[in-house]
Structure 1
Amino acid sequence: MFENIRLSFQGIFGHKMRSFLTMLGIIIGIAAIIAIVSTIKGTNDQIKDNLIGAGNNLVNVKLSSGGYDISVNEMPEETMSKLPIINGDMINEMKDLEDVKDICAYHDSVLYEGVSYKDNGLTGVKVIGSDNSYLTINSYQVNSGRFFVPDDFSKHRNVCIIDRDTSDSLFEGETPVDKTIIIKGMPFIVVGVVSPEDEAEPVINSIEEYQTIYGDDFYSGTGKVIIPDECWPDVFAYDQPYQVIVKANSTESISSAGKVVEEYLNSMIDTSSSFGNDMGEEQETVKYKRENTLEKVKALQDISNSTSQQLIWVASISLLVGGIGVMNIMLVSVTERTREIGLKKALGARKKVILGQFLTEAAVLTSIGGIIGVGAGIGLSYFISNVASVPVAISVPAIIVSVGFSMVIGIVFGLLPSVKAANLNPIDALRYE
């Protein structure tokens, strides 16, 4: 075997240009496949980071009806009265559930008007009612001012915390802290401006990805105003059901953590609660439903993977062309070395020895092409990333498979020339000019 490999390298380097041109189809095919797989893997990782939050491990458990999220603003008071009012004891019980690291109950409502400062009003602001746990579980940091303090809740202070988007839009350069804004006709003093600790923006490649990532925020602004949950009934005139945000122990347990909280909350719901509309449609039961983020990830990744598979098939055509080139050059090599083959057979070389020598040469030739193709593919991946601003993640399994596949191509397409060489009649071979 080692002698065959040595002879293969000797033959390849003895005809450098011919060998390189033979390998070119393999190099191009492998490089294209590596670049495609690396780009798709990078895109899939980006999708996962966009939706899962790059390690935040958060999942929302929201009220739904008929499989769709519903707004509490749309529900009649009779329906809301049958939904559980989440208290501290329930929060502690849910924290003890399997795969749950932390949990927060909150109110939320999107106001398409009703939030203003002086003559400046905002459209599509999400108002959140919660305690400090909402800020900590979402990893917010204070840019200016402070978080809530216990007295804000016990004394029902009309204070609020805004995010930087709301600050920039509403105050237009003014310092927001200690200024008074109006929320549905009620004055609230801004005590803090916050932003997420990880402010990396998700990379959006299509409107479908935007809608999938932002969900309910797709048709609303992304600004937030957070008020103490004790003040919520004063602004919205009645107690509303809570939504829940769950922090899982790990990314892999996001779905299971959301499921156990979903089941816990649904066990507290009056089963007669329902939701309908004025159009006479059949009413659906209202229940809590987890936001299945991993399914969203899988759906987008499936689309990405199906595209990559089509591209890989196209790139594989060059591998086929490269394989035909290998077969052609090996047939030429057999013709050129006919007398050498005849001499070896006359000295007692068996068919399998001749067969092994030429198969090894074909496999070594395509393997070298595969290794060069891998290097070219990695370089091409980073070139595409820099030019087109797309993410890249080099796939080690793809590299290993590519090199192995290139070797298989050499064996498959080198088989016919090798069999021809092994079957040569030694007398005729020695007479060949």
Structure 2
Amino acid sequence: MTGDNMNVMECVKISLASIVSNKLRTLLTIIGITIGISSVIAIISIGKGGQTAILNEFDKLGTNSINIRAKTGVVQGKDILRLDDAVNIEKYIPQAESVTPVFNGFGLIKNNNKIREAYIWGIDKDFKDIFSLELLHGRLINQNDTRLARNVVVIDNVVAKKLFHRGNVIGKTINLIVRKDSVILTIIGVVKNSNEIFDNIFDEQVPTFIYMPITTLQRIYNSNYVDFISVKVGKGENPDEVGIKIVNFLERSHHTSQKYYAENMLKQREQVRRVTNILTYIIGAIGAISLIVGGIGIMNIMLVSVKERTKEIGIRKAVGARKGDILKQFLTEAVLLTLIGGIMGIATGIFFSWLLSVFSGLPMEISMPTIIIALLFSAFIGILFGVYPAQKASNLDPIEALRYE
């Protein structure tokens, strides 16, 4: 440790001895780093888990499908989509494996004094071929339901339990209120709630989905159009090319141009993935701001340490320690402090992620790259805020340092 350069192990041993000798100060010093890293880990793990849950639900909407829609501002009664369009697409477009028209509405479902907001899907028998519905009891909408515009409905298991306190409610009735109209619907099926995770978190803040014959919902709304037509693309077919073909077909059928467009659901999924990624990392970055506070704490404590060990530094320089040796030792100590804080932060972040996952139902997703980046960032904070104290220590005059009391 005299004329030769100090090796890394010597630096680590001396730094650890200094850290251990001041346990309380060390704990208070690294708490800012621990809070910052744990916040980032918890935010990213829950954010990634939430993203996975959202994408899984998105996959149930059929990622190998396209949605055909009329552009806004079309002339009512001329350039809109109708049930016949869905029939013709299935008949004349061979690349369309399955076609289902969809009409959406919003209303309230009621049983006695219990009321729940509902997003209504007006569908036909082919809906199940494109959108994933897990049937628990009864049956789904069939051809006769649509042809006869029956007052029947399929609800999910969560609503069944909230309105009737039981899972199997086949044959029971609910009151659907749309605008000022009220319709009695008979429950013919119960499906698994596809938004159960978010329903657990937000409870009744998230509207439930109910499914009924498209013709019944059109009658309630006094409408003859559909909101969109969902098309399952055949295996090996390019969704974008099939979408263009369908749009061209509709424009020829309606004697119009540039009034329709196709949504590629796989591209929509990718956009959702990108947006949720950006949001997760932005929120994580905001949480990381507390690391700056932790870094300032590290710098302050290291400056105190330099002052307390001024005489020690003078003795070491007098017996041959180089400027670089002193710099290396204090920088190592700063990095070790932040790494210890980082490790504690990772453990705390994982624990709180797990705790939140248990109570909310949201999955947690911890990746090794996230942990490695957190540790590297901790070390970077140590270097960034440890450089100044380390330089100050290395620049001390040995004679003045030996005189220091």
TM bin, normalised by shorter chain, reads 0.5 to 0.7
Match runs of 1:196-275 below 5 Å: 199=194, 201=196, 203=198, 222-225=210-213, 243-246=229-232, 257-271=238-252, 273=254
- Residue in 2 aligned with 1:138? 131
SS in 1 for 2:210: coil
Q: From the superposition, tell whether residues 203 and 58 of structure 1 become closer, same or farther in structure 2 (CA, over 3 Å).
A: farther
Query: 1-side partners of 2:324 and 2:105: how far apart?
Result: 81
How many angstroms does 1:196 deviate by?
A: 5.2
- Residue in 2 aligned with 1:432? 404
Amino acid at match of 1:165: I
SS in 1 for 2:70: strand
Query: 2-side partners of 1:174 and 1:22: how far apart?
Result: 60
How many angstroms does 1:383 deviate by?
A: 2.9
- Residue in 2 aligned with 1:231? none
What's the % identity of the aligned pairs? Answer: 30
Amino acid at match of 1:309: I
Q: Is the 8 A contact 1:385 1:392 kept in 2?
A: yes
Q: From the superposition, tell whether residues 194 and 62 of structure 1 become closer, same or farther in structure 2 (CA, over 3 Å).
A: farther
How many angstroms does 1:398 deviate by?
A: 3.1
Deviation string for 1:336-379 (max 9, x for gaps)? 22232222222222211111111011111111111101111111
Query: 2-side partners of 1:174 and 1:310: how far apart?
Result: 43
How many angstroms does 1:308 deviate by?
A: 6.3
Query: 1-side partners of 2:388 and 2:212: how far apart?
Result: 70
Query: 2-side partners of 1:419 and 1:351: how far apart?
Result: 9
Q: From the superposition, tell whether residues 30 and 270 of structure 1 become closer, same or farther in structure 2 (CA, over 3 Å).
A: closer
Q: Which moved more, 1:363-372 or 1:389-398?
A: 389-398
Amino acid at match of 1:246: K
Match of 1:3 among 10, 34, 54: 10
SS in 1 for 2:155: helix
How many angstroms does 1:200 deviate by?
A: 5.4
Q: From the superposition, tell whether residues 401 and 286 of structure 1 become closer, same or farther in structure 2 (CA, over 3 Å).
A: same
With structure 2 as the length reference, what TM-score do the two structures score?
0.68
Match runs of 1:9-158 below 5 Å: 9-53=16-60, 56-66=62-72, 75-76=77-78, 85-87=88-90, 90-91=93-94, 93-94=95-96, 103-108=97-102, 128-130=123-125, 134-140=127-133
Deviation string for 1:132-168 (max 9, x for gaps)? x64344345666677999xx99xxx979996632998
Q: Which moved more, 1:134-143 or 1:18-27?
A: 134-143
How many angstroms does 1:86 deviate by?
A: 3.0
Query: 1-side partners of 2:29 and 2:227: how far apart?
Result: 70
Query: 2-side partners of 1:166 and 1:50: how far apart?
Result: 15
How many angstroms does 1:4 deviate by?
A: 0.8
Q: From the superposition, tell whether residues 49 and 347 of structure 1 become closer, same or farther in structure 2 (CA, over 3 Å).
A: same
Query: 1-side partners of 2:369 and 2:150: how far apart?
Result: 51
Query: 2-side partners of 1:239 and 1:29: how far apart?
Result: 53
Query: 1-side partners of 2:190 and 2:288: how far apart?
Result: 47
How many angstroms does 1:267 deviate by?
A: 3.3
Q: Which moved more, 1:366-375 or 1:286-295?
A: 286-295
Q: Is the 8 A contact 1:141 1:194 kept in 2?
A: no
SS in 2 for 1:105: strand
Deviation string for 1:53-103 (max 9, x for gaps)? 2x85353422413488x9xxx635999799982355733x34xxxxxxxx3
SS in 2 for 1:57: coil
Amino acid at match of 2:389: P
Q: Is the 8 A contact 2:137 2:190 kept in 1?
A: no
Q: Is the 8 A contact 2:101 2:123 kept in 1?
A: yes
Amino acid at match of 2:24: M
With structure 1 as the length reference, what TM-score do the two structures score?
0.64
Match runs of 1:367-382 below 5 Å: 367-382=339-354
Query: 2-side partners of 1:318 and 1:242: how far apart?
Result: 47
Q: Does 1:324 pair with 2:296?
A: yes
Query: 2-side partners of 1:13 and 1:370: how far apart?
Result: 17
Amino acid at match of 1:57: T
Query: 2-side partners of 1:391 and 1:323: how far apart?
Result: 32
